[in-house]
Each structure stands twice: as structure tokens, then as C-alpha cells.
A and B are shown apart, each in its own frame.
Chain A
Amino acid sequence: MSKLIETAELAKQDATYLQALKELLFQLADDDLLIAFRGSEWLGLAPHVEEDVAYSSITQNTMGHAAMYYNLLEELGAGEADILAHGRKPEERRNGIYLEKRNGEGTYLDEPYYDWALAVVRNYFYETFKKIKLEAIATSSYKPLANVARKVLMEHPYHLAHWKLWMKQLGSSSEEAKKRIQDRINEAWAEFADVLELGSLANDMRSLNLVMIGEEEMKDKWLEEIQSVLVEIPVGPLGKKYGSGRNGEHTMDLEQALNTLAEVYNSDKTAAW
């Protein structure tokens, strides 16, 4: 199927297409939900007030992107957007594992020893990848998704520029900052690989033109881009130390995230909030 699918109703008529499309949407939605959730925990704790304003603006946009993907899933009959965001079990989640990682020691309510180096490296790595993935779906065969991707791509350059600036500034400042950043880069290198993957339906996603480039090409583009900014590239290949979130494998950190983000939702599932 290489023609343009204009509506959810049309997409639902082809089981293979629908399955690959939903899988892709869950990846996009869950990635943005988790990184936005981690960002929302940082609120009020950033290195200075200006950064708090900027980071919370980015986080808010990112949560908005997640909401758009969940809405597309709702249109496809996957369930209500709010239930998809708040009510799915960890093994049903498709976000890359590195995105669920805690911000540091403590919790946002108690002794939050969060690490800004992790925030910078994670957001830079993720936003760099997000651009590549969005460009790969901006001409997707599923028109409603392509429309959303193009809309997100309009906001995205500011997000990426923000984190790239932090990478460059901290990467060329004090010895302590350089070391902290490099340590987090090395750590990310061992954990980031599943973020770059499209999961078990990768071949269908590509052959059905849901994504216009395959996962190998996405990964190469990401590496090329990252190498232009990183001072020191870790030796060896990218790893997925804790497995693949694209297959529903996750860590305890995801459970903590879901318990928090759905605390009020879980307190009364019948209530309208």
C-alpha cells in the first residue's frame, strides 16, 4: 500500500496497516509522554529562573505532542486518549527505556538531587532523534500523522537549539562540567539504542510508507548529527543495557513514573476531572 491514507476510517480497513500505524503512534506518544513527565518533575529546580521558564515551555509543548499522538490513536479505535496515557500497564508501553530513567537521586517532592548533566544529555540526544523521526513521517502515507509531524516540526527547532546550546556551553566550560557531561554521554551510549529503533514492526512501517526512511538510516543520521557536537565519542557501539522499550521491556523507573503521573487518575477512574 503506497497510496495516501486520508482518514482513520480508511486506515482501519487494513489490519496490517492499522497494526503498524498504532505501533508507531504508541512509540511517538509514549516517548514524548515520558520525557515530558521527567521534564515536569524538574519544574522549579532548574539551574536558574530563565532556564525554568524555558525548560517548562519545552516540556509543555512536548506533552502537547504526546496528546496529539494519543488523540490519533483514539481516532483509530485504540481507546480514549486519557486512558492510553494514564491507564496502560508498563509492559504495554513503547517508549525507549532511557527516556523513563529517573532524573537523579531523590524524588521531585523530597530531596530532589537531580542531575542537570543527565537532563542536558538526555534531552539533546532525544530531540536530535525526534527531528529525524519527525522528518521521516512528515510525508508519511497516513495523512493525519504527517499533518501532526509537520506541526510538531515547526516548534521542534527551538527545542533542539536549546539543548544543543547547553551541550556546547557545558562541553566547553569548566573541567567539572565537561566530566559530568562526558560521564552522562558514556552512560547514555550504553542505554540509548532502543530509542533509535522502530521495534518488531519496523519492516511493515517502512514498506507501508508510514516512515519514509528505515531504522538503520535513522540511526546513521543520528550518529552523524551527534558526532558534530560531541567533543568525545564513546568507543564501541550503542547499547540497550536494559532491553528494548519498543518491545515492552522496561525498568522500575517506568513504574515510578506511571504511579506518579496517574496518581490522581487512579484515585477514581470513574470520575470526570
Chain B
Amino acid sequence: MYNYVEDGDSKTTAYVEHDQAKYDAFMARIEAGDKIEADDWMPEDYRQALIKLISMHGISEIMGALPEKEWVPKAPTLRRKLGIMAKVQDEMGHGQLLLRVAEDLMKPYGKTRENLMEDLLNKDLKFHNVFHMPTKTWADAGMVGWLVDGAAIISQTNMLDASYGPYQRALQRICQEEVFHAQHGESIIMALAEGNDYQRDILQESLNRWWPSLLMFFGPASAETTGSSKQDIMIKYKIRKSTNEELRQAFLSKYMPRVFSLGLTVPDETIHYDENEEKWIYKQPDWEEFKQIIRGNGPRSKERLRIREIAYENNRWVRQALATEPVGV
């Protein structure tokens, strides 16, 4: 589960003098499809873009466990309990995998995972817009797996050939697991869609509520919307291939037919595929609201960060105990 959200307030850190010869060699390597490894020379803005992307991705996996986790203990059957447990456990695993990748990149700045957690609690490190939203019914547990993870698959497969080797390899595994997650979500959705009136009602209500967040998932089409965007640098350095809008279009093309075939609607009567323009026409979500959400002012931002903070503070004694001495057991 994840996506990279462009937001303008990236902080510049240590300045490394530009070395044209090394830069040219670096560009030649990535142009040739070579993968950059953690210890290789890399331009400062490449490293910084990666740190921001991967730490946000990793933290989003971990924060992303929280909304779904709300339904893990409540899953309605033994089979659903096992499915959602496995699913959320995978997400935590993705978080761990990605934080390890980010840690290596942060090493030259003397930053650690502890710093990332503190940045998160200070709202300096963003997590994905969808995870600031409330979950209200069991249908949301299905919706997150089906359409949120479905959107994640689209944006992640866009980076499966990313120029940074450790990230690219992590994504191979993550994408494979995400396919299971989307199937898990789809299975919950199908049971509701084929269920009784109450089940169909909570399903439609859930989709209505998630719709703007799903459109926002891929980020704004251009930098003008939110003041800044890292899309260009990400494409230049071959971290990703497509633009935000291209990804959103791919999502709509894949999922709108499925939404309609289940007899569901979306809260946008204008949405349609324009054959001439060869693209989906849809009502823009409120991008001002998007900005507020990713800055930590979304409907559930405060509560989710509070839970993270309690877990962090409340377990401090455990981390301190582990740090006191290495224990051979």
C-alpha cells in the first residue's frame, strides 16, 4: 500500500559539491538501465528525492496498517480474520523492508529510523492521503484492499524498473504481495455486492466516501495545484515512468468498468470516457483539501498520529531495555 505524494516543503540538507564527471557517468549508467546501489556515488538531489520517496512510502505502509487494523479484530468470520491478519502483517513487512532501504540512504546524513519516527510525529514526514481517512464499516476493510491497494499497484508497477537497485528489488516483492491484497479486498467486496440490502448499502456508502481520496491518491496533475512537484526529477532520474495524471487514467480505465459491473456508482455524474480525447473526464477532487490532509490536518490524522505516539512513548522502556546490553541467548 502506498503512493508518493508531491508536496513542496522538502528540506535541503548537507551540500555536496557538484562533480560533473561523476554526474555524467551516473547519468550514463541509469540511461543504460544500470541499477544504482547504496554505496555508489549519486547526485545529491537524487539521494534526497529517494529518501523522501522511500521514507514516505515506508511510513505510509506502517501508518496504512492503522485504518485497516481497526477491522482486524472485528472481521466477521474466521476466514476473514485470517485473511485480513495476513494482509495487514504484509503491510507492516513492507514498511520494515522500505525503512531498511531508507536507512542506508540516510546514513551519510547521520539520520536513523528513530529520526524518521520523530519526523512523523512532528508532521515533518508525510504519509499518504488515504491513511488520514476514517474507516466506518467492514466495507471499508474491503475498499482499502480492493481500490486503495489497486491504486497502489498501479503506481508501484510504474516504478518496478526504478534506477535505484535496493528500492527496485523491494518493489518486486511488494507488488507481488499487493496483488494478493487486491484479491483479498475484491473477495470482501464481492461478498458484500452479492449480499443483502444492508451489505450493499454499506458497500455503496463506503465507495462514495472513499471516492475523492482515490482520485487524490495519485497526486495532482501538475505542480501548480499544490505549489510544487517532484514528478519531473523522478522521471529524469528514471525512478518512475509516468505522470500522476497518466497513473490516474490507468486506474480509472482498470477499475471503472469493474465498479459499474458490480452495480455500484461513484459520486460524480459527469464521469465518462471521452473516445476522442482518449481519456477519462471526471470532476476534480478538492486539491486544497488534499494539501490539508497530507499536512496532517485530515479527518483522522490527529488520532492516527496519537496512536503512533502512544505506541512509541509507551514502549520506550522496551527499546531502552534492549539497548542496555547485548544479550546472548
Binding site for B on A (CB under 8 A): 37, 40-41, 43-50, 52-53, 56-57, 59-60, 63-64, 66-67, 70, 81-82, 85-86, 106, 108-109, 111-114, 116, 164-165, 168-170, 172-174, 176-177, 180, 260-261, 263-265, 267-268, 270-273
Contacts and interface: CB of A to CB of B under 8 A. Distances in A.
A59 B73 CA distance: 11
B327 to A, nearest CB: 5
Most-contacted residue by chain A among B69, B70, B71, B195 (CB, 10 A): B69
A153 B62 CA distance: 31
Given A60-B82, A174-B321, A264-B74, 14 more contacts: A43-B89, A46-B311, A48-B315, A49-B96, A50-B96, A52-B96, A63-B78, A63-B81, A111-B306, A111-B310, A112-B311, A113-B310, A172-B327, A271-B198
A176 B80 contact: no
14 contacts: A40-B72, A40-B85, A43-B89, A43-B92, A44-B92, A57-B89, A60-B86, A70-B78, A111-B306, A116-B317, A168-B329, A174-B324, A177-B318, A264-B75
A70 B317 CA distance: 38
A56 B92 contact: yes
A273 B191 contact: yes
A174 B96 contact: no
Given A85-B78, A273-B191, A53 B93 contact: yes
Nearest to B62: A49
B318 A170 contact: yes
B74 A49 contact: no
B252 interface: no
A220 to B, nearest CB: 25
A261 B92 contact: no
B89 A56 contact: yes
Contacts of B188: 273
Nearest to B64: A44
B13 interface: no
A43 B70 CA distance: 9
A108 B73 CA distance: 9
Contacts of A264: 71, 74-76, 138
B92 A53 contact: yes
Contact of A272 (B191, B324, B327): B191
B260 to A, nearest CB: 23
Nearest to A111: B310
Contacts of B89: 43, 53, 56-57, 60
B76 A86 contact: yes
Given A48-B319, A49-B95, A169-B327, A40 B73 contact: yes
Contacts of B62: 44, 49
B185 to A, nearest CB: 14
Contacts of A60: 82, 85-86, 89
Interface string B53-82: 000000000100110011111111111111
Nearest to A52: B92
A116 B329 CA distance: 20
B99 A169 contact: no
Nearest to B93: A53
Nearest to A265: B76
A114 B314 contact: yes
A49 B306 CA distance: 17
B92 A37 contact: no
Given A49-B95, A169-B321, A44 B85 contact: no
